[in-house]
Structure 1
Amino acid sequence: MSSTVSRASARRRPELAAFLRSRRARVTPADVGMPPGLRRRTPGLRREEVAQLSGVGVTWYTWLEQGRDINASPQVLDAVARTLRLDTAEREHLYDLAGVAFTAGPEGHADSVTPEIQRIIDDLGTLPAAVYNARYDVLATNAVYRTLFPTVGMSTGADRNVLWHLFTARACCCTMVERETELPMLVATFRGAYGRHVGEPRWEGLIRRLCTASDYFAQLWASGDVAPPGARVKIIQHASVGLLNCTTQSLSVAGTPEARIVVYVPADAESHDHLGTLRTLSDPLVGCPVHARPLSVELERQAARKG
Structure 2
Amino acid sequence: MPASPSFGAYLREKRSRLDPVASGFPASRRRTPGLRREEVAQCANISVTWYTWLEQGRGGAPSSDVLDRLTKGMKLTELEREHLYMLALGRLPEIRYRQADAITPRLQRVLDALTYRPAIVKTPLWDVVAWNKAAAAVLTDYSTLPPDQRNILKIVFGTPRVRAMQTDWDNLARSVVAAFRADIVRAGASTLVDQLIDELSACSPEFSALWQQSDIESHAEGTKRLVHPTAGLIELEYSGFAVEGRSDLGLIIYSPATLSDHARVAELVDHFGR
Structure 2 length as normaliser, TM-score?
0.84
Structure 1 residue 208 corresponds to structure 2 residue 171: no
Cα distance in 2 between the residues matched to 1:72 and 1:269? 53
Partner of 2:155: 165
2:138 and 2:228 in contact (8 A); partners too: yes
Structure 1 residue 120 corresponds to structure 2 residue 118: no
Per-residue deviation, 1:168: 0.8
SS at match of 2:237: strand
State, as a whole percentage, how many aligned pairs show the same letter: 33
Structure 1 residues 173 and 276: alpha-carbon distance in aligned structure 2, compared to 1, 3 A threshold: same
Per-residue deviation, 1:90: 1.8
Per-residue deviation, 1:158: 0.9
Q: What per-residue deviation string (whole Å, max 9, x for no partner) do you get for residues 191-212 of structure 1?
A: 2221233345444332222122
Aligned with 2:38 (options 29, 48, 56):
48
Structure 1 residues 228 and 68: alpha-carbon distance in aligned structure 2, compared to 1, 3 A threshold: farther
Partner of 2:207: 217
Structure 1 residues 104 and 282: alpha-carbon distance in aligned structure 2, compared to 1, 3 A threshold: closer
Partner of 1:13: 4
Structure 1 residue 235 corresponds to structure 2 residue 222: no
Per-residue deviation, 1:247: 0.7
SS at match of 1:258: strand
Per-residue deviation, 1:65: 0.7
RMSD, aligned α-carbons: 2.9
Partner of 1:71: 61
Per-residue deviation, 1:277: 3.8
Cα distance in 2 between the residues matched to 1:150 and 1:56? 49
Partner of 1:189: 179
Per-residue deviation, 1:21: 0.7
SS at match of 2:186: coil
Partner of 1:289: none
Structure 1 residues 68 and 13: alpha-carbon distance in aligned structure 2, compared to 1, 3 A threshold: farther
Partner of 2:13: 22
Aligned with 1:98 (options 76, 88, 99):
88
Cα distance in 1 between the residues matched to 2:4 and 2:49? 17
Q: What per-residue deviation string (whole Å, max 9, x for no partner) do you get for residues 239-274 of structure 1?
A: 223221111123433344433332222223443343
Q: What per-residue deviation string (whole Å, max 9, x for no partner) do you get for residues 119-163 of structure 1?
A: 332232222222223322222222232221245453231111221
Partner of 1:140: 130
Query: Which of structure 1's runs of 4+ aligned residues deviate more than 6 A?
Result: none
Structure 1 residues 250 and 22: alpha-carbon distance in aligned structure 2, compared to 1, 3 A threshold: same
Bigger Rg, structure 1 or 2: 1
Partner of 2:101: 111
Cα distance in 2 between the residues matched to 1:280 and 1:141? 16
2:178 and 2:216 in contact (8 A); partners too: yes
Cα distance in 1 between the residues matched to 2:73 and 2:41? 9
Cα distance in 1 between the residues matched to 2:271 and 2:161? 25
Cα distance in 2 between the residues matched to 1:57 and 1:35? 21
Aligned residues: 273
Cα distance in 2 between the residues matched to 1:118 and 1:199? 26
When structure 1 is superposed on structure 2, of 154-163 and 132-141 the one drifting more is 132-141
Per-residue deviation, 1:279: 3.3
Cα distance in 2 between the residues matched to 1:282 and 1:57? 60
Mind listing any 5+ residue stretches in structure 2 that lack a counterpart? none
Counterpart of 2:75, as a letter, is R
Cα distance in 1 between the residues matched to 2:105 and 2:67? 34
Structure 1 length as normaliser, TM-score?
0.76
